[in-house]
Amino acid sequence: MTTDTTTKSAPTGATPGEPVLDARGVTMRFGGLTAVSDVDLTVNAGEIVGLIGPNGAGKTTFFNCLTGLYVPTEGEVRYKGQILPPKSFKVTAAGIARTFQNIRLFANMTVLENVLVGRHTRTKEGLWSALLRGPGFHKAEAASRARAMELLEFVGLAGKADHLARNLPYGEQRKLEIARALASEPGLLLLDEPTAGMNPQETRAAEELIFAIRDKGIAVLVIEHDMRFIMNLCDRVAVLVQGKKLIEGDAATVQSDERVIAAYLGEPLANDPGAAEAAEVEAAEAAAEAAAQTAPAKENDR
């Protein structure tokens, strides 16, 4: 009889700066269509990395290759040095958790129950223990509930633990998805368009939450279309265009790259972060230049 009801420990954390995720030459073909072509991407411990690109660039397909939903046609993906197994539940158990572009919650379950579902890879209540509901089972269940409540507290939903998921406003459903992903105690969190459909206030809150997740030692890879959000948030940004990685670098490098502007946006980045400050500096420089030009005239006037 299996009675082991201990909670499995979280995957050991990587040393800051060491690769958590290492994807090499990842290619995914669907028949004649190459959705992802020879993409390399590394995410180091302590980093938030962004993945951007136009619609259909292959971002979600690439995520699916990282999480075992798809087995890449070519290439390999390592998590903390180990090649990932080609099954999504095994990838979750290894330490990679994700959220989805379209929210996937159990709508008719409570907020707390949704997070408890996310804990199943970290608990190992045996079948008999669960059926008999012995003391070991109750202890493990209590520990899981306590951890789930901690996570709800962390994302700001503890007060709504008993609400049905479907009754939460949209922004809170996204937070709940993140809490559920965190319940598997990941070392890497993949977020697929976490601010889609959010208002600016919710987007700012999401940004704070992702920084807090990073500060807990969880590396983050995030797909987003909101440029202001991604450029403020990420240490590095990779750009996919037609399945290929066009460029990778910090926000300033990516935003000023002619190919990115031409291929991805067709025009300078909308909501360019720092644009207001840049305009202010430009205006101040112009004013200083104008003042410098009039100054000698004043001298001569004397």
Ligand X SMILES: Nc1ncnc2c1ncn2[C@@H]1O[C@H](COP(=O)(O)OP(=O)(O)OP(=O)(O)O)[C@@H](O)[C@H]1O
Question: Site residues (CB under 6 A) for ligand X?
Answer: 30, 33, 35, 53, 55-61
Burial of 24 (0-12, 13-18, 19+ CB in 10 A): middle
- Select from 105, 110, 113, 119 the least CA-distant residue to 162: 110
Shortest reach from residue 65's CB to ligand X, in Å: 10
Q: Put the strands of the sheet holding 19-30 in their side by side order.
A: 33-44, 19-30, 74-79, 82-83
Nearer to ligand X, 60 or 114 (CB): 60
Give just the sign of the alpha carbon dihedral 202, 155, 64, 101: negative
Shortest reach from residue 62's CB to ligand X, in Å: 7
Nearer to ligand X, 33 or 252 (CB): 33
How many other C-beta atoms can be found within 10 angstroms of the C-beta atom of residue 215?
9
Which of 204/225 has CB closer to ligand X? 225
Q: Rounded distance, CA 111 to CA 133, Å?
A: 23
Give the shortest CB-22-to-ligand X separation in angstroms: 20
What is the crossing angle of helices 135-155 and 111-118, to 10°?
110
| Shortest reach from residue 52's CB to ligand X, in Å | 9
Q: What are phi and psi of 268, to 5 degrees?
A: -55, 150
Nearer to ligand X, 46 or 53 (CB): 53
* Residue 31 beta carbon to ligand X: minimum distance, rounded to whole angstroms: 7
Nearest approach, Cβ of 59 to ligand X (angstroms)? Answer: 4
Q: Which is nearer to ligand X, 56 or 135 (CB)?
A: 56
Q: Closest Cα to residue 177, out of 45, 20, 187, 190?
A: 190
Closest to ligand X by CB, 102 or 108: 102
